[in-house]
Amino acid sequence: MNKFPKENPNDFKYEIKKGLNNIPYASLPIGNSKKFKWKYFDEDVTNAFQIYKFWHSPNEIATNFKYMYPGFNKFNYNVFVRKFKTLKKELLKYNIYFYFLDYMGKWSNINLHFIDYSWTDASNLALEDNPNLNIKDISYIFIDDVSLLKAILYGKLYFYHQILNKDIPNLKLVFKNILNFNITKFSNSNAISFKLKKII
C-alpha cells in the first residue's frame, strides 16, 4: 500500500506533509527536472549539514559549498571534526573547554541562527565539567554546526567564547598550533572569526 501523502507533491514544493502512515514526507524535485516526489523526512536528524543536504541536490551542494579549511581543495566535513577533536584535547591541557555542538540544526536553518540556544548548551556543558565552579570562573569556547555550515557557504568561521584573561595567551597558542589561525586581536565581544579558503 502506498503510504505517501495523498496530495500531489508538485502542489506542495519543498513542504512537509504527513503520509497515510502518519510519517512525515517532504516534496523534493526529481533530479534536475521540474517534477517533485515525496521523500521520507527523518525528524530525528539534527545536524545542520545533514538537513541542508536533504533539502538540496548534489549539484546545489557542490556549487554552494564554496569555502574550506586552508590546504584542502574540496569540502570535507570530517576535516573539521578531526581538527576540533584535537583542538579540544590541546585546550584542555590549559583548562580551557572546547565544545563542538553538532546538533543545533534542529533549532535553526541557514537564515535563522539561534545562537542563544548554543550558548545555553555550551554553558551547561562547562558547568557539568566543572561542578564546583561558577560559570564566570570557567574558560570555554564553542562552535555549532550551523556556524560551520554558514562558514562553508560564506567563508567566515565563528567561534564563541568566554575566556578568562589569564587563559588568552594559551588560547592563542593552541589555535595557532592546531588550526594555524592567528588570533591577532582579542576582545570581550564573545566571538572570534577566521576566513576560510575559497575552493577553486
Helices 48-55 and 145-154 cross at an angle (nearest 10°) of 50
Which residues are paired to 140 by β-bridges?
97, 162
pLDDT computed for residue 43 by the predictor: 83
pLDDT (tens digit per residue) in 83-121: 999 999 999 999 999 999 999 887 776 666 778 899 999
Cα distance between residue 125 and residue 137, in whole Å: 14
Q: Is the confidence at residue 32, as pLDDT, over 60?
A: yes
Cα distance between residue 52 and residue 143, in whole Å: 18
- The helix or strand, by DSSP H or E, that contains position 197, with its residue range, turns out to be strand 197-198
Q: Which residues, in sequence order, are CB contacts of 50 under 8 Å at separation 6+?
A: 105
Provide the residue ranges of all domains of the chain, joining segments of one domain with +.
Answer: 1-43, 68-198
pLDDT computed for residue 116 by the predictor: 87
pLDDT (tens digit per residue) in 45-71: 899 999 998 888 888 888 999 999 888
Q: Which residues, in sequence order, are CB contacts of 116 under 8 Å at separation 6+?
A: none
Percent of the chain as helix, strand, coil, to the nearest 5: 40, 20, 40
